[in-house]
Amino acid sequence: MLKKQINRLVNHYGLWRLIHIAMAAGTVTLTGVLVLELVVPVRLDSDTVDTSPNMNAVASNKLSEILQPGSAEFQELSKIMRQGLFKSVTPLRDKPMADKTIERIKSQLKLQCIMEMNGEPVAYVNIKGAGLKKCKVGDSVSDLFTVLNINKKSIEVTIVDHKVTLSL
């Protein structure tokens, strides 16, 4: 029964026109769902943490001083407050992987020359794969390093917050 109706529609309108109609209907449906998702507020599940505005903001390192560690409030707050979530607790230079990264970046840099332009020192550094770059004190070059100081035969740069000296 359904096959006969589909064959009749294909014969009457053509296959490509039916595909276009189906795609248009899908687009309209998805747009409607998107608008409804943006308009209707999201309902919180029962196992989520209540983050109502009456909850006081507390630093996570002072949480144990204000609330007892065994209490339900402490456990609920500790689910959403994690100290140092995006910032490493120890500096990167103490990690072996960071040392390898710093050495890898340093091996791609070669100081070509140092000269004075308009009264200020300028260094030219050849970056493997990127070419020769002109840099002054304070310049951040290709998100690889920042120039701290330019001496007569060397420059001091920081790579991942670690001081490195490039020499001629």
pLDDT along the chain (168 residues), means of 10: 86 88 95 88 54 46 58 68 51 63 85 89 88 87 85 88 85
Same domain, 73 and 136: no
Would residue 48 count as lying in a domain? Answer: no
| pLDDT for the residue 42 | 63
> Which residues form the domain of 80?
56-87
Instruction: Report the C-alpha gap between 148 and 97 in whole angstroms.
Output: 24
Q: At 48, which amino acid appears?
A: T
- Name, in order, each residue with C-beta under 8 angstroms of 22's C-beta and a sequence gap of 6 or more: none
Q: What percent of the chain has pLDDT over 70?
A: 68
Count of residues in the chain:
168
| pLDDT for the residue 79 | 64
Instruction: Report the C-alpha gap between 8 and 4 in whole angstroms.
Output: 6
Same domain, 123 and 144: yes
Contact (CB, 8 A) for 99 and 81: no
pTM: 0.42
Would residue 49 count as lying in a domain? Answer: no
Q: Where are the alpha helices (DSSP H) in the chain?
A: 2-13, 15-39, 63-66, 72-80, 96-107
Instruction: Report the C-alpha gap between 96 and 25 in whole angstroms.
Output: 56
Same domain, 151 and 107: yes
Residue found by looking up tokens 């004190």 in the block: 137
Domain CATH number, residue 142: 2.30.30
Would residue 44 count as lying in a domain? Answer: no
Would residue 46 count as lying in a domain? Answer: no
Give the total number of structural domains in the chain.
3
- Name, in order, each residue with C-beta under 8 angstroms of 131's C-beta and a sequence gap of 6 or more: none
Q: At 67, which amino acid appears?
A: L
| pLDDT for the residue 60 | 47
Same domain, 81 and 96: no
Would residue 50 count as lying in a domain? Answer: no
| pLDDT for the residue 56 | 46
Instruction: Report the C-alpha gap between 151 and 155 in whole angstroms.
Output: 6
Would residue 63 count as lying in a domain? Answer: yes
| pLDDT for the residue 54 | 44
| pLDDT for the residue 27 | 96
| pLDDT for the residue 59 | 47
Would residue 45 count as lying in a domain? Answer: no
Q: Tens digit of pLDDT for each residue in 57-92? A: 444 455 555 656 667 776 676 666 655 544 554 555
